[in-house]
Chain A
C-alpha cells in the first residue's frame, strides 16, 4: 500500500517540479500518438467513407478484414514494421528504425483499422436518402462528404478516442520499433516497463499516473467537443 502512496507522491513531485526527463517523455508520447491518430484519421475516415458509400464486389470481405484489423495486436505490427525498416530490410535505406517516425508509422497502422471500421459503420448507419437530399440541394461530392462526416460526428469522435487510447497505451510496437532510447524514443509506456524491471516501482507508478491523466485529459477534450452541439 505505501508503494502506491509513494508512487502518487513521486508523480506529484515529478509533475510539479517539471522534471525535464519526464516532461520530454510525456511530450513525446503525446506527439507520437497524436500524430499517429491524426494520420489514422485522414486515412481511416477517407477510405472508410469510400468503402461505405461505394458498392463493389467483395465489399463484405473488405469490411470484415477491416473489422479484424481493429484488433490488430501491437506486437505483430511492431514485428513487421521492424522487419521492413531494418537497415538491410526493404525500407532500410530510409534509416527510420529506432526513431520517433518509426513509432508513428507503427501506431498509425494500429489505429487506422480502428478509425476505418468505426467510420464505415457510422457512415453506413446514416439514412441513404440523406445523401440524395444533399446532392439534390446542389452540393458537390466533396461538400456532401463533409456534411456526412458532420452528421456522423458522434461515432467518428468515438473512433478518434478509441484510436488515440489504443496507441498511447500501446507498448509492444513502441518498444520494438522505437527501442526505448533515452531522450529520443522513450515514451510513457516503454519507460514504465523499464522502470518496473529496474525495480523503481515508485517512478513506474508515477509514470502510469501521468499516462492515465494524459489519456483522461485528451478524452475529456474530445468528449467536450463531441457533446458540444448535439445534431438535430
Chain B
C-alpha cells in the first residue's frame, strides 16, 4: 500500500510541476518557427536560436519539416515565421497574401551525390540537367525526397528541365523522409540523390557517397525568411515573428551563419546574403 502511495505521489508531483510551467508560459513569448530539415540537421539553428533567445527573451519553437509543409503551416496560421528554401512556392505564397516581408537570408547550393562507382558516369559533369538525363538513360537508382520540401521542388524542376518523366519508373524511388535520412537511404542502396551541401557535408563520413555534379547555376539554394501575415491570422505572434526575422538578417546572425561549420568541415555550410537585392 505504501509503495503505491509513493508512486502516485511521485507522479502527481511531476504533473503539478508541469501545470505550473504551462501556466507561466501563456503570455506571448513563444514563436513558432517552421523551417526545413536542412537548417536543423546541419546544426545551424542550434547555433542561432540560443543567441536570439538570450538577446530578446522570446522562446523559439522550431518545427523542422519540409519547406512545403512549413508553408502549409504558414497558410493555416499555425506558424509565426518561416525559414524556407523553395523560391517558386514562396513567391506564390507571397502572392496569395499569406506572408509579409520576405527577405533573403543566405544561400548554399545543391549537389548531386552518388556512389563511388558512378554507374551513370556523371562525374565532373557541369550540367545538372545532363547528369539527370544520364541517370535516367542508364536507369541508375535515384532516391528522391518525395516530401514537397525545397530540395524536392528543386529536384522536380531539374527533372522537368531534362524532360524526363521519372515518377513510376523502377529506378526512381521516393523516401518521403528528411534530407539526412534520404542521404542514408541513398548511401545504403548505392543510389544517386540531390542534396543541399550543408546536410551532405555534415553527414559525409557515414555515407559513402561522393559529390558528382556541382556548380550548375540551376542548383543554387536560397533561403528566405518570411513572416506570416497577421492580417490573415490574428493569432499569429507578429511581434515575435518580426523580431526573429530581423535577427536572422542582422549583422550578428549573418556573421554566425557565415562562419558556421567552417571549423568542422573546412568550409562554411551557408553563405550570408542579407541585404542583397536579388537572390535567385
On A, residues with C-beta under 8 Å from B are: 30-31, 34-35, 37-38, 86-88, 92, 95-101, 104, 179-182, 184, 194, 196-199, 201, 221, 225, 228
Contacts and interface: CB of A to CB of B under 8 A. Distances in A.
Interface size for chain B: under 10, 10 to 19, 20 to 34, or 35 or more residues?
35 or more
A190 to B, nearest CB: 11
A197 B8 CA distance: 37
A225 B63 contact: no
A88 B77 CA distance: 8
Nearest to B13: A31
A184 B59 contact: yes
A101 B181 CA distance: 29
Q: Dominant SS at the B interface?
A: helix
Contacts of A181: 61-63
B77 A31 contact: no
A198 B3 CA distance: 42
7 contacts: A34-B14, A88-B77, A101-B18, A179-B63, A180-B64, A194-B64, A197-B178
Interface in B1-28: 3-4, 7-8, 10-12, 14-15, 17-18, 21-22, 25-26
Interface string B38-52: 001101001001000
B77 A199 contact: no
Given A197-B178, A198-B180, A201-B206, A101 B22 contact: yes
A197 B32 contact: no
Nearest to A222: B7
Contact of A35 (B18, B21, B206): B18
Contacts of A198: 41, 43, 180, 202-203
Nearest to B64: A180
Nearest to A37: B11
A95 B80 CA distance: 14
A149 B15 CA distance: 24
B203 A182 contact: no
A31 to B, nearest CB: 4
